[in-house]
Amino acid sequence: MAQPDDLVPTPEQRRRHDLLMAGFDLLDQAIAVFDATPKLVTWNKALLRLLDFPESLVKVGTPFEAFVRFNAERGEYGPGDIEKLVAARMASARSFEPHYVERVRPNGKVLAVRGVPIPNLGFVSLWTDVTEQRRAEALVQEQNARLEARVRERTAELEQANREIDQIAGALRLSEGRMRLILDAIPAMIAHVDAGRRYRFANRAYAEWFGLTKEKIVGRSIEDVFGEDTYAAIDTYLCEAETGERVSYEYARRNAEGQLVHARSVVVPDVSLEGGFRGYFVMSIDITEQKASQAALVQAQKMEAVGQLTGGLAHDFNNLLTIIIGNLSALQDKLAGGDGAEYVDPSLQAARRGAELIRRLLGFSRRQTLEPAAVEVGGLVRNMTQLLVRTLGETITVRQQYPDAPIHALADPHQLENAILNLAINARDAMSGGGKLTITVQPRHISGSLARLSEVPPGDYVQIDVSDTGKGIEPTVLARVFEPFFTTKPFGGGSGLGLSMVYGFVRQSGGNIRILSTPGKGTNVRFVLPATQPSAPARAQESAASVPAARGCGPVLLVEDEPEVRKVIRMQLTTLGYPVIEAGDGVEALALLENIENIAVLVSDTVMPGGLNGHELARRARALRPALPILLITGYASERPAGDDAVANIPVLRKPFDPPALATALAGLAAGADAGPTPTNPAKEESPT
């Protein structure tokens, strides 16, 4: 069948294609394009020259895995199992994530390898020979060390030879000329200032850091070059140097682009043999990136400390709430709507709200892979109202708009809460004088043409808009807001990870995000998440009365180190009809398991003193009695050890819980026992990323 005319390349298109390929072949870089399978689509001649691939291998349709295997077999990736080396690189390739690595070939050449994904089509790989560049960098480092030693040596020589200066003036001028060339070649910023605090010498790096040339900085005063404010900050150090002391200090200034930059300087006095002060030598290095990294590290350490503190406090609060809810539930059952019930009901509801608040705090503090579920987005945002109002303060009005009918998105609810909270905090920082924050949730259908532009599959989505009336974002800044560690906040005010984490969550969830902002008017952040159907409603909890007791086959062994918590759980178990044996720690419980044969169920806390925690107790109980039903209880966010098959399928009941929740958990144990041993869950397939 003949192809339509619009699919047959015209002579002009063929000519342009031939020119493009000829241009690629002239490049020193090797280029290869792979489709989504991934298989080779096109390449240039440098691919054969740089990577020494045989011509029989480099052809259209060759799988990417064939190239990887060829490299692995000839030792390009170093020693190791060939299959594992191939599998690791194929997993990375299939993730379609941008990447950059440098690899030293067996022949000693250093190749820079960059992979760039082509959305929904494949990826482009580029190889660049950077051998000479890396050798030059090593040479520069070596020259730096030599230069430092030479500067010290030369300074001593000049002081010793001051009386003989007339005889060696010519040699000194030659040496000085060479030194200037060397000083201009190094990345350090070096200058010499006379006793009147005027520059007599500055290398290229020093002058350019201040936006000047070497010729224009010479003769100017330090105050003129630094500016009044910065000069006032370093004046004390300069006065100390004039007394003959070597000093070091750090300072910050704004460059011509308005960016805050940091430097660390060492000032060495220039003293004559007679002891007279003639000026000082200055060596400075730019530490702006180092400061940014330190600020990000401090912020990360703060968040880690907050997470650990939150987890520990939440565990203690959950124990307290277990006691409160357990006793209130028992009192509620005892009163059965009689006198005093009107005081118990609101107290129990308040305790449960406290438990929900603790659950949310644990959700914000924990680190985990995404756990997508059907989330009713309007309800999630509505439940965050109180948290947002308290976080943003009284000067900011929060408005929320929802659709008439509930809509569900497929996303991790905790990460979605984190994303909305991050955006709200950014909006708050942009509205220092107060303003209005609007969160809008609505359904959105993205068709084929728009989907290609949005880099998402066509289909139904949930659209979430977070808008503020703040100061807006400058266009130059807007282009970089999703970059990790990029922030416009002062040092220590933020890690620069907030928006990049939101971007990563949205993209990993199958959606996309964009920001529209007008300086002086405000910002709108819009992101979409895949829509889904609501999950099937869970079965209502069985009432305590409907849950059978232990069928008369033996008591429940209750292990809990907190006496008051143990008392409440014992009361709940006896109310459900279970006989109870108590233990205060894992060691005591293990002794009971070894000596009492008719124990029917083990209910144990996870974190206990004595050297035997709940997980280890459950593991030893499984070894003693493989069919023994076990229920673990915990006040932490996540207690299950990774990769422990012995306890992988043991159910965990989160504190605080009420009698119906405990009854349902025990009923689940009984159902599992009737159905026989539960098979071990297969290991989750690892993500290629």
CA distances from 85 to 68, 108, 644 (A): 8, 20, 27
Instruction: Give the torsion sign (CA, 28, 34, 39, 43).
Output: negative
Q: Using alpha carbons only, what angle is made at residue 200 by residues 197 and 206, rounded to the nearest 5 degrees?
A: 90
Q: For 302-321, what is each residue's pLDDT tens digit?
A: 656 666 666 667 667 777 88
Where do we find the tokens 């044969």? 597
Q: For 360-413, what is each residue's pLDDT tens digit?
A: 555 545 444 457 889 999 999 988 888 888 888 888 899 999 898 999 999 988
Please tell me the CATH code under which domain 134-161+169-291 is placed: 3.30.450.20
Q: Which two tokens stand for residue 274?
A: 């007679």
* Residue 443 confidence (pLDDT) above 90: yes
The predicted structure's pLDDT at residue 400: 92
* Residue 599 confidence (pLDDT) above 70: yes
Q: Which two tokens stand for residue 50?
A: 């740089």
Q: pLDDT over 70 for what percent of the chain?
A: 82
Nearest to 27 by CA among 101, 124, 97: 124
More confident residue, 54 or 449: 54
Q: For 248-299, what is each residue's pLDDT tens digit?
A: 999 998 888 878 889 999 999 888 766 678 888 999 999 888 887 776 566 5
- C-beta of residue 645 within 8 angstroms of C-beta of residue 627: no
Check if 368-532 and 544-675 are the same fold.
no
Q: Where are the beta strands (DSSP E) in 497-637?
A: 512-518, 522-532, 556-559, 580-583, 601-605, 630-634
Predicted model pTM = 0.42
* Residue 470 confidence (pLDDT) above 70: yes
Please tell me the CATH code under which domain 15-129 is placed: 3.30.450.20
The predicted structure's pLDDT at residue 117: 87
More confident residue, 166 or 432: 432
The predicted structure's pLDDT at residue 35: 87
Q: How many CB atoms lie within 10 A of CB 487?
A: 22
Pairing of strands 601-605, 556-559: parallel
Please tell me the CATH code under which domain 544-675 is placed: 3.40.50.2300
Distance CA 171, CA 161 (A): 12
The predicted structure's pLDDT at residue 676: 47
* Residue 672 confidence (pLDDT) above 70: no
Distance CA 427, CA 520 (A): 13
Mean pLDDT of all residues belonging to the chain: 80
The predicted structure's pLDDT at residue 550: 44
- C-beta of residue 280 within 8 angstroms of C-beta of residue 269: yes
DSSP label at residue 282: E
Q: For 163-183, what is each residue's pLDDT tens digit?
A: 675 666 677 677 777 777 787
* Residue 468 confidence (pLDDT) above 60: yes
* Residue 20 confidence (pLDDT) above 50: yes
Spans of all domains in the chain: 15-129, 134-161+169-291, 368-532, 544-675
Topology adopted by domain 368-532: Heat Shock Protein 90 (3.30.565)
Q: Average pLDDT in the 218-223 region?
A: 92
The predicted structure's pLDDT at residue 677: 42
The predicted structure's pLDDT at residue 80: 84
Containing 5, the helix (H) or strand (E) segment is none
